[in-house]
Chain A
Amino acid sequence: MPRLPGGFSLPPFGLHQWLALVIVCIALWAVGLFWLGLQAGSSWTQGWRQDIRFHIYLENPDATRMQQLSGKLRAVPGVAAVRIVPLEETRTWLDAWLGGSGALADELLSALPGSIEVTPAAHGGEFIYDDLADVARAFGAGVNRGEAHLVQARSMIARVERLLWFGTLIIALAMIIIISNTLRMTLLARADEVQLMRLLGAGEWFVRMPFLLEGGLLGAGAGGLAWLLLWPPLLAVSSWLEQLDAQVSGFALLLPLLFGGALVGWLGALLATTRMTSENTAPG
């Protein structure tokens, strides 16, 4: 049996500990997987963001109104650049879209509204789409709705992140209770040891410390194991993530899982040993 410094043995590691380790590991693995998913989604929409351009269309455009509208749009918070799309550029695009039918393109071009292209800043305002729509409406113009979905996706991911924090908290509480329950069973099995330490004059923290360490190590071990188990699914979807240009780092979760696991383990042990009453002299 391996010995710790000072000649001491490792505490017994029985079935209860194995079960707690596996359960906490699975919970931490699930949490890690969700956070990796969020990381991927966030990275993916950040990639979109670089290509986001809003298009505002003004029916029956004239140069003055187009200039006024673009000036108002430039003043919207979170807007990086505003450009009036030249007719020639629209014609080229339309020609390409119609497959080289120049005459048809010319005919359609006269019916198309004037187009203004708005580029949002890297960290554009949360309500940029609504602000642009308000400005456009004042001029009788409209915003391309499809492009708004990109902004909505980002806001949805922010909402998912908040939900994930809440879910992580709930799972952490569940893990604390599981570890606490396991250590309580260990405490029962080692009641004689606790009683003996008390009879020898041990203080409250001296008695609790081995269990706090055990809880912390159990949690950290489960966290480390969960981190290792994150790699197979991560590798399985790596080519897909590459296609989406989503940057996901498994290493970023190592320390959160290790220390998060240790923290919930320690808190579980603290909870388990709280009921070890400090009263060690019974009244007569």
Chain B
Amino acid sequence: MADKGRACGYRSTMIQMNRLMLRYPTGKIALSGMTMNIEKGRFAYLTGESGAGKSSLLRCLYGGVRPSSGQLTVQGLDLRSAGQRQVRKLRRDIGIIFQDHRLLFSRTVFENVALPLRVQGWKPDRLVARAEKVLEFVGLKDRLWSFPEALSGGEQQRVAIARAMSTKPPLILADEPTGNLDIGTARHVMDYLMELNRQGSTVIMATHDLHLLDTHPGDIFRLHAGALEEELHLVSGNGRGAGKRETYVPEI
């Protein structure tokens, strides 16, 4: 059925938002009338200047903050009316990567990577094998029992990626995951994210590093002052080319 839909150029929607507005209790308006859809299996970049609303949008997507008005549906769940239980369930299906990676420094790499698995109720005897597997993916299998402190910045970010992908989530949200990394390391991190996307996960990444788009193309959603300013669809993601509107690398 999915193949048929893909062949017809139809892809189900992972994220749907319509005139989304987010106003913080301080009065600051972070998102004002954002309307966009992101299909399943895409690799989407959220770009824009600082304060454009990228991080706020990501926070909305994982239920970290509730939209003030408009409509936001993630994996079929209306986040404006969803209860706490539903939000928790949604979060278990989302892998989140932060710019500051938010690793637990008093815990081993294994414990960091296994945390989402524990939250999902995996049996303890399966955790080590799974953690080894995802760490092997990011090339850190031998650091299973190390503490994050002993790792370089790039390695820490790879552990964060391993943690985000450990439960094989259908959606991965990355908030400037390459922000603190040099170009070489950043490209490696992007390779891993691209690979996850190829394996079926929808990836939404907020970034300032526009040079990464040369080598790792995807859909680009350029935000400005809390609204969508430009939407560009490049050859990217799972089933590349399907439904594309643009095939060139934009000059942003």
Contact = CB atoms under 8 A, between A and B. Distances in A.
Interface of A: 5-9, 12, 190, 192-193, 195-197, 199-203, 206, 278-284
Interface in B149-197: none
A278 B68 contact: no
Given A6-B125, A196-B102, A202-B119, A283 B66 contact: yes
10 contacts: A5-B124, A7-B110, A9-B107, A195-B102, A199-B96, A200-B91, A200-B115, A201-B119, A278-B84, A281-B63
Interface in B56-111: 60, 62-68, 84, 87-92, 94, 96, 102, 104, 106-108, 110-111
Contact of B108 (A5, A9, A280): A9
A196 B84 contact: no
B114 A284 contact: no
B88 A203 contact: yes
B184 to A, nearest CB: 28
Instruction: Give the interface residue-count category, chain B.
Output: 35 or more
A116 to B, nearest CB: 76
Contact of A284 (B67, B92, B110): B67
Interface string B98-140: 0000101011101100111011100011011001000000000
A201 B90 contact: yes
B22 interface: yes
Interface of B: 22-25, 30, 60, 62-68, 84, 87-92, 94, 96, 102, 104, 106-108, 110-111, 114-116, 118-120, 124-125, 127-128, 131
Contacts of A279: 84
Contacts of A197: 115, 119
Contacts of B116: 200
A199 B64 contact: yes
A200 B128 CA distance: 19
**Residue among A195, A201, A278, A280 with the highest chain B CB neighbour number at 10 A:** A201
Contacts of B63: 281
| Residue of A196, A199, A200 with most chain B CB atoms under a 10 A cut-off | A200
A185 to B, nearest CB: 15
Nearest to A1: B108
Given A193-B104, A197-B115, A200-B116, A281 B127 contact: no
B164 to A, nearest CB: 10
B24 A284 contact: yes
B107 A281 contact: no
A284 B65 contact: yes
B66 A282 contact: yes
Nearest to A283: B66
B39 to A, nearest CB: 23
Given A9-B111, A199-B96, A201-B88, A284 B102 contact: no
Contacts of A193: 104, 107
B119 A282 contact: no
A5 to B, nearest CB: 6
Given A7-B128, A8-B111, A279-B84, A200 B65 contact: no
Nearest to A206: B119
Contacts of A8: 111, 114, 124
Given A192-B104, A199-B64, A206-B119, A281 B84 contact: yes
B62 to A, nearest CB: 7
B67 A7 contact: no
Contacts of B90: 201
A200 B92 CA distance: 6
B88 A196 contact: no
Given A201-B89, A281-B64, A6 B115 contact: no
A75 B130 CA distance: 82
B168 to A, nearest CB: 14
B127 A7 contact: yes
B65 A201 contact: no
A215 B246 CA distance: 59
B66 A284 contact: yes
A62 B188 CA distance: 116
B146 to A, nearest CB: 12
Given A201-B90, A206-B119, A280-B84, 14 more contacts: A5-B124, A6-B124, A6-B125, A7-B127, A9-B107, A192-B102, A193-B107, A195-B102, A196-B102, A199-B64, A202-B119, A279-B84, A281-B63, A283-B25
